[in-house]
Amino acid sequence: MRIVVLTGAGISAESGLTTFRDSGGLWEGHDPMQVATPEAYADDPGLVQRFYDARRAALSRVEPNAAHHALVRLEDALGDDLLVVTQNVDDLHERAGSRRVHHIHGRLQSAWCTRCGERHEWYGALADGPACPSCGVADLRPDIVWFGEIPYGMDLVEQALEECDLFVSIGTSGVVYPAAAFVHWARGATLELNLEPSAGATDFAESRQGPATRLVPAWVDELLA
């Protein structure tokens, strides 16, 4: 059985990473959704760099949870027939042990040089303007897909969705496109696992509500039984 799993901020919430729409707060007085834009970066690059520096630093203080680990069990059973497509920019799927993970919105631990175009694994801060290891120019931005930019690897995702027998969406609000449309692109059965019904819940054949650390292991147990 070929399965595509889409994950959003909700799968990492119980690891201690704040979701976008549940954050209930401001970042230095700004809505996080307004900070994650090319316009915000053009207006105030320091603010945007500090936002991503803080989130990159937070990764070292959190661990993958039972939902991430359950998806590894599923990959151990299905091999290449499982693809995890994540909107998350954290590395918790990889640290749990998932191998087939595709980050459509980029990764916190990658820096992209806007001068020479090279990408570099990056674990430190960017706000202090480090030089690009390739060209030496201090113009590195977070390798993150902001609103209006094109998500990464959409051809691969589209093909996987057209070929899958089951599409499962975990911990995402269903308001950000193109991910919110994947349920319509999927050829096979569809299932949503979320704390509450998402904006697109009625588009899924089945929708289950609860915390990811309970729902995801239970769903994997059911599938592998």
Query: Which stretches of the chain bind ligand BJW, using CB under 6 A?
Result: 8-10, 13-14, 19-22, 36, 87, 89, 105, 144-151, 154, 171-173, 175-178, 194-196, 198, 211-212
Q: Give least dist CB 7 to ligand BJW, A.
A: 8
Strand 101-103 to 82-86 pairing: parallel
Nearer to ligand BJW, 73 or 81 (CB): 73
- Annotation-wise, does 19 bind a ligand? yes
- Annotation-wise, does 98 bind a ligand? no
- Annotation-wise, does 173 bind a ligand? yes
Distance, in Å, from the CA atom of 58 to the CA atom of 62, rounded to the nearest integer, reads 7
Nearer to ligand BJW, 3 or 169 (CB): 169
Q: Give least dist CB 196 to ligand BJW, A.
A: 5
Per-residue three-class SS string for 32-97? HHHHCCHHHHHHCHHHHHHHHHHHHHHHHHCCCCHHHHHHHHHHHHHHHHEEEEECCCCCHHHHHC
Binding residues for substrate: 52, 55
Instruction: Cite the active site residues.
Output: 105
